[in-house]
Amino acid sequence: MQETDLKSEYDVVICGGGLAGLSLAKHLHQVLPELSVAVIEKIPRPLPEAGFKVGESSVEGGSNYIGRVLGFHDYLKEKHFLKNGLRFFPGQSDRPLEERPEMGPPCLPLLPAYQIDRGVFENDVREMLIDEGIQLFEGYGLRDFELGSSGARHTVRIQKPDSEGTATVNCRWLVDATGRRFFIQSKLKLKNRWEHKLGAAWFRIEGRFDINDFVERGEWHSERDPDDIRYFSTNHLMGYGYWVWVIPLGSGHTSIGIVATEEYHPIKQRSNYALALKWLQEHEPVIADHLDGKVPLDFRCFKNCSYGSHQTFSSDRWACVGEAGVFLDPLYSYGLDFIAMSNNIAVEMITRDYKGDLTPADVDEFNNFYLTLTNNLLQLFNGSYHIFDKGHVMMAKLYWDTGFYWGFFAPLSFFKIFQKPGLISGTNYMKNTLALNLRMQQMFKDWARMPCSTQAPDFTRYPHLYSYLSRAHVELSRNKSQERALRDMEKNCRMLEDVVRVWFLRAVESTMPERVESLKARGRLNPYAVSLDPDRWEGDGLFDSEASSMGLIEKDIKVYCGEIKLSKWASLYHLFRLYLWGWTMKTVEAT
């Protein structure tokens, strides 16, 4: 039952009722229904379809949170779209679409992810939450807050709708979910403006804008996309310094956005629809040509999309969730994953506080964990935009980034490990996995700058079935204890070491082929010392490692690159050997 007016006291005030705020309210209601919670949201319903917000495409971690943990799966399936994975067309934008290299899934993935019309979603979820008894105040604007010290309650000043004046509300917990309003971060001056300078412009087009229709029906459709579901992917058309998204929405419309770094394509070149169209004509003419004569439903752009934070959680009982805390980059659709992670941490802190056992040391641990991960993941994007027209490097990067996501980042979410960061924070395999990621990201950046004649194949099945990647994906769907999940993450780290060794040798072969034989002859390569600077190899300890077979991953990557084909039975046998490798591998720390 919805209260008609604000009370003067709440246990928790959630500032902002967007994706993060609404899902946090639902999550708290599930875990601690006895808490009094108010969600303060300035925009009243009805919210427009399409044309409302970005954040339409999701991947496994975030989808698991809203679909399975919060229970919206059936609703999302009915009113929105099940997503056909991420699909990429890197480079060669002057050629017809069917002649560009393509990397994407051949079929719907096992684990669901969604394409979400945010206007439809937020209209419906607000209604559902109110029906459940959650107190949502629409049309109420947050003005200011004072933090209570030494256990005293916080005070929030709120503008009521229709000039009804202001209200002052006290609360034990203040959670900022105001997105780019940065209610807490800006007042406490906690934002960290890092060097990843990103600008985005986007609009929605009425009806279905299907890239499948850009190509005359033929093999391109039947062989690569037999189920005719390319439209349901998040399609990325990429070039030097930019990428363009095409996302289908359940309301029947299509979202299109251009993301680029300021260094290569300043946002002022796309600050209105006419300019964006002109820019597309120059860089992605296939999109521009098909937009001819269409009228956009909306248009928006942002400068400085990417930012970090010096602190997102406090033992003074406040938290910043979703975009009100940190946002890295929309490539790979991780926004909802960070909402899942920050919401889970907020729920865990509030629960421990409610039980009287939240300590400042716990909060430090949550902060360090969250900020360590965001800073590490930033390197997937920061300084990487020159890679996007190099198909051969993009395909390596996609293999690594996906293996890292499914083998390390997503399990943190699926198995709720970020509710207990102490289980993993001090471990060598967390440090090692993050260190491997930094090495690989640097290698991709360097590889893309070096001359070579390597070409990406016409079509890369990403992820191909019966592979290391599909194994990591399937493992997310299993019911595991946290102990078991941690053991598997330690094993994944060992497998990722081989992934590094194999891609390193391939990168050397592509850029310095004369050095490959001598490297192979040394036999033992230290994955924590790979780089494309031969002068650093000895000093960094590249040859200082335990022997590794690399055989299974090498085969896996050859299949991925289309260099060998395995029959169905050989593929199954390969997958069985990958599993066997995992089963028989001994863990050291995660027991």
Ligand X SMILES: Cc1cc2nc3c(=O)[nH]c(=O)nc-3n(C[C@H](O)[C@H](O)[C@H](O)COP(=O)(O)OP(=O)(O)OC[C@H]3O[C@@H](n4cnc5c(N)ncnc54)[C@H](O)[C@@H]3O)c2cc1C
In the complex, the residues that contact ligand X under the rule CB under 6 A are: 16-21, 40-43, 53-58, 62, 141-142, 177-179, 181, 200, 257, 259, 302, 305, 322-324, 330, 333, 335-336, 339
Rg (CA), the chain: 24
> CA 182, CA 195: separation in Å to the nearest integer?
19
577: CB partners within 8 A, 6+ apart: 552
The closest of 44, 113, 53 to 84, measured between CA atoms, is 113
| Residue with Cβ nearer ligand X (270 or 390) | 270
What DSSP letter does each residue of 8-42 carry, written as one string?
SEEEEEEE--SHHHHHHHHHHHHH-TTS-EEEEES
d(CA 532, CA 506): 11
CB of 483 to ligand X, least distance (A): 30
At position 64, the amino acid (one-letter code) is: N
* SS3 at position 352: helix
- Non-local (6+) Cβ contacts of 467 within 8 A are 556, 559, 560, 574, 575, 578
In angstroms, give the least distance from the CB of 353 to ligand X.
22
The Cα-based distances of 18 to 42, 43, 47, 60, 386 in angstroms read 10, 10, 11, 20, 33
Distance from C-alpha of 257 to C-alpha of 238, rounded to nearest angstrom: 12
CB under 8 Å to 294, separation ≥6 — which residues? Answer: 205, 206, 209
Category of 189 on φ-ψ map: left (φ > 0), alpha (ψ -120 to 50) or beta = left
Give the torsion sign (CA, 366, 367, 368, 372).
Answer: positive
Tell me the C-alpha distance between 185 and 307, whole Å.
11
Closest CA to 23 of 59, 60, 62: 62
Nearer Cβ to ligand X (306/454): 306
Q: Measured from the CB of residue 166, what is the shortest distance to ligand X in angstroms?
A: 12
Q: Which is nearer to ligand X, 65 or 220 (CB)?
A: 65
428-449 vs 391-404: helix crossing angle, rounded to 10: 170
State in angstroms the smallest separation of the CB of 312 from ligand X.
12
Environment class of 580 (CB within 10 Å of its CB; exposed 0-12, middle 13-18, buried 19+): exposed
Distances (CA, A) of 547 to 67, 235, 502, 527: 43, 40, 13, 11
Taking the least distance from each CB to ligand X, the nearer of 105 and 582 is 105
Q: How far is the CB of 343 from ligand X (least distance, A)?
A: 10
DSSP bridge pairs for 39: 14, 136
Closer to ligand X by Cβ: residue 260 or 529: 260
Shortest distance (Å) from residue 496 CB to ligand X: 24
Minimum CB–partner distance for residue 522 and ligand X (Å): 43
The CB-of-419 to ligand X minimum distance in angstroms stands at 20
Q: Look at the block and give the residue holding tokens 């919670």.
A: 37
The minimum distance between CB 60 and ligand X, in angstroms, equals 12
Cα-flanking dihedrals φ and ψ of residue 423, to 5°? -65, -25
State the nearest-atom distance from the C-beta of 81 to ligand X, in Å. Answer: 13
> Please, which residue, 333 or 526, has the CB nearer to ligand X?
333
Residue 178 Cβ vs ligand X, minimum distance, rounded to whole Å: 4
Q: Which two tokens stand for residue 192?
A: 């960290």
Burial 409-435 (b: 16+ CB within 10 A, else e): bbbbbbbebbbebebbbebebbebbbe
Decide whether 398 or 495 has the Cβ nearer to ligand X: 398
CB of 525 to ligand X, least distance (A): 36
| Residue with smaller CB distance to ligand X, 54 or 184 | 54
* Least Cβ distance, residue 280 to ligand X (angstroms): 16
Residue 148: what are its φ and ψ, rounded to 5°? -80, 140
Q: In sequence order, what E strands does 414-529 have?
A: 459-461
Nearer to ligand X, 38 or 363 (CB): 38
**316 CB-side CA count, 13 A:** 13
Nearer to ligand X, 178 or 344 (CB): 178
Least Å distance between CB 332 and ligand X? 9
C-beta closer to ligand X: residue 55 or 527: 55
Shorter beta-carbon distance to ligand X: residue 170 or 511:
170
Nearer CB in complex with ligand X: 200/519: 200
* Smaller CB separation from ligand X, 241 or 582: 241
* Element spanning 125, H or E: helix 118-131
